[in-house]
């Protein structure tokens, strides 16, 4: 589901942009800090995102995927109860 190269699609590219919301900056920073502290690395983040059920993956916004991954991986590792 995450492996998108060459997937057939007619969808045009939506070029509208948005400035990152505070919660998105926070989510990005949580991941960055977890990485710097050796608690959770980038590969674990990606793996967590890839484990999302396909419908959820497609529906979720970018940082919602990050949130899903961090919750999943940290719970699995016992960092979050």
Q: Which of 53, 69, 48, 45 is nearest to 1 (CA)?
A: 53
**Tokens at 54, concatenated:** 């396909």
Residues 10 to 69: which contact another protein by CB under 8 A? 11-18, 20-23, 25-30, 32-34, 36-37, 39, 41, 43-44, 46-47, 49-50, 58, 61-64, 67
Contacts with another protein, residue ranges (CB under 8 A): 2-9, 11-18, 20-23, 25-30, 32-34, 36-37, 39, 41, 43-44, 46-47, 49-50, 58, 61-64, 67, 70-71, 77, 79-80
């Amino acid at each position: 589901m995450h492996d998108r190269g060459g997937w057939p699609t007619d969808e045009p590219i939506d070029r509208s942009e948005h400035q990152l919301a505070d919660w998105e900056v926070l989510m990005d920073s949580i991941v960055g800090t977890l990485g710097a502290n050796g608690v959770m690395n980038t590969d674990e983040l990606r793996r967590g995102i890839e484990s999302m059920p396909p419908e959820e993956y497609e529906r979720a916004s970018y940082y919602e995927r990050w949130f899903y991954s961090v919750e999943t991986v940290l719970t699995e590792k016992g960092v979050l109860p």
